[in-house]
C-alpha cells in the first residue's frame, strides 16, 4: 500500500498523522512518500487548475493523508491529478482512501 503523507511541519499535525500511519503499519505493508506543504494559497489554486486540465496517470497512491489547513488544497490537487473515479475523499480529516 502506498501512502502519500502531506506535511506542514507542525508538531501537532505530524503526531496526528503518525498515529494513523503506525496503526496502518500493523495491518499492511506500506511505503510512505512525504510531500512538503508550505502555505501558498495562490500556488495551491494554480496547482489545482493545472491538475484539472493536465491529468497524470503515472502514479497511483492508495492513501493521501495530512493534517492542517495548509495541506488540503495540495491533497485535492493530487486527488484530481492522479486518481480515478472509484476513490473517495474525506475532507473532514483529510484522509483519502480507495474503495
2 φ, ψ to 5°?
A: -105, 125
**Residue 84: pLDDT over 70:** no
Q: How confident is the model at residue 92 (pLDDT cuts 50, 70, 90)?
A: very low
> Which comes out higher in pLDDT, residue 29 or 70?
29
Instruction: Tell me the DSSP string of 14-80.
Output: HHHHHHHHHHHHHHS--EEEEEE----HHHHHHHHHHHHHS---S---SEEEE-SGGGHHHHHHHHH
Q: What is the pLDDT of residue 54?
A: 75
**Residue 7: pLDDT over 70:** yes
**Residue 91: pLDDT over 50:** no
Q: What is the pLDDT of residue 63?
A: 87
**Residue 22: pLDDT over 90:** yes
Amino acid at each position: 500500500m502506498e501512502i502519500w503523507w502531506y506535511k506542514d511541519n507542525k508538531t501537532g499535525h505530524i503526531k496526528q498523522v503518525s498515529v494513523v500511519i503506525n496503526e496502518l503499519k500493523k495491518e499492511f505493508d506500506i511505503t510512505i512518500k512525504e510531500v512538503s506543504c508550505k502555505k501558498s494559497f495562490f500556488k495551491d489554486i494554480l496547482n489545482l487548475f493545472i491538475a484539472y486540465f493536465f491529468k497524470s496517470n503515472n502514479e497511483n497512491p492508495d492513501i493521501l493523508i495530512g493534517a492542517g489547513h495548509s495541506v488540503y488544497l495540495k491533497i485535492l490537487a493530487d486527488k484530481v491529478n492522479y486518481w480515478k473515479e472509484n476513490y473517495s475523499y474525506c475532507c473532514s480529516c483529510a484522509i483519502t482512501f480507495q474503495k
